[in-house]
């Protein structure tokens, strides 16, 4: 497996030149576009990592899968479905115009900014600091890494410049989708996006999702199987922003990307994959990361279709 992954990094490295690091969050603009790492975890092959797979980066939109899981565990599927829909929007992750009519819950999904922000309100906790802590604790649990923590610099950078997310939050309030204090909800969301992980952490989380909430190494059931089914389905249809349809054809597995350059890919019943390469395409997905997943999917016949 290491040999295959090394070959993939070598073959995909030129695709870095097709993208640019995110700059709308100032701290993310400091990323080195030449960094590239891949980690895979499976029962038969164990953990394999090459390149910059131990480099830490913030989860950004990848954390939306964790927010969805936390909301499902805390409030159940009915309340989640009442707050956000499941259909792909076909629009950028931070778009405003989801419908020609009044905005309704079914117009947004958990993998776009508006949907994830709304779901933060369903997380249990007396304060939004407590809600965030429960998100962080769940991330640590799924990744098997108690050292996962917040990147304070990225958090402060997002909070200082995240005016589009503020606008989205007030739009949610304007249409009655959420009723809580906008700045408190946003603080939880900004903190969640700023959780710092590695490719190994993402691969471990994906591996748990691939095995329907169970850690097959320890046999521990970390969360309800039905929640894994729900999350994986939403990742398949909505996880790669408005490039999800193309990704379904070329790669064919549930996945979630983030503007940090990370991708978490779930191969049901087989494998978890974590990738980091911060040079992004126009849709906010890692250029080299997507190409790497295309090759890996082809070589190992990973597509679920």
Catalytic residues: 61, 64, 189, 241, 259
Strands across the sheet containing 255-257: 46-51, 37-42, 271-276, 262-267, 255-257
The secondary element (H helix, E strand) that includes residue 66 is helix 64-75
Residue 149: both structure tokens together: 């923590």
User: Which residue, 66, 56, 48, 63, is CA-closest to 198?
Assistant: 56
Residue 270: both structure tokens together: 């087989």
User: Which residue, 165, 129, 178, is CA-closest to 150?
Assistant: 129
Alpha-carbon gap, residue 255 to 40, rounded angstroms: 14
Alpha-carbon gap, residue 135 to 68, rounded angstroms: 10
**Which residues are bridge partners to 46 per DSSP?**
42
Helix, strand, coil % over all residues of the chain, rounded to 5: 50, 15, 35
User: Which residue, 201, 269, 181, is CA-closest to 232?
Assistant: 269
Q: Taking a C-beta distance cutoff of 8 angstroms, is the pair 299, 223 a contact?
A: no
The secondary element (H helix, E strand) that includes residue 4 is helix 2-12
């Amino acid at each position: 497996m290491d040999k295959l992954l090394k070959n993939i990094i070598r073959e995909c490295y030129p695709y870095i030149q097709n993208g640019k690091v995110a700059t709308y969050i100032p701290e993310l603009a400091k990323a080195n576009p030449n960094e590239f790492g891949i980690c895979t975890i499976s029962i038969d092959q164990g953990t394999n990592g090459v390149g910059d797979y131990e480099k830490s980066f913030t989860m950004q939109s990848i954390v939306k899968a964790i927010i969805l899981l936390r909301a499902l565990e805390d409030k159940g599927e009915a309340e989640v479905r009442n707050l956000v829909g499941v259909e792909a929007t076909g629009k950028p992750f931070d778009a405003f115009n989801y419908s020609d009519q009044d905005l309704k819950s079914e117009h947004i999904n958990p993998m776009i900014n508006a949907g994830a922000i709304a779901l933060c309100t369903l997380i249990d906790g007396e304060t939004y600091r407590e809600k965030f802590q429960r998100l962080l604790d769940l991330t640590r649990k799924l990744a098997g890494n108690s050292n996962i923590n917040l990147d304070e610099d990225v958090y402060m950078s997002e909070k200082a410049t995240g005016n589009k997310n503020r606008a989205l939050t007030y739009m949610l309030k304007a249409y009655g989708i959420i009723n809580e204090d906008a700045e408190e909800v946003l603080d939880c969301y900004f903190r969640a996006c700023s959780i710092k992980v590695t490719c190994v952490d993402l691969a471990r989380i994906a591996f748990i999702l691939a095995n329907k909430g169970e850690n097959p190494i320890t046999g521990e059931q970390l969360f309800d199987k039905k929640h894994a089914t729900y999350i994986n389905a939403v990742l398949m249809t909505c996880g790669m922003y408005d490039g999800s349809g193309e990704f379904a054809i070329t790669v064919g597995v549930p996945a979630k990307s983030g503007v940090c350059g990370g991708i978490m890919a779930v191969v049901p019943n087989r494998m978890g994959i974590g990738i980091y390469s911060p040079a992004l395409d126009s849709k906010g997905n890692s250029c080299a990361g997507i190409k790497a997943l295309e090759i890996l999917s082809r070589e190992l016949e990973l597509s679920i279709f």
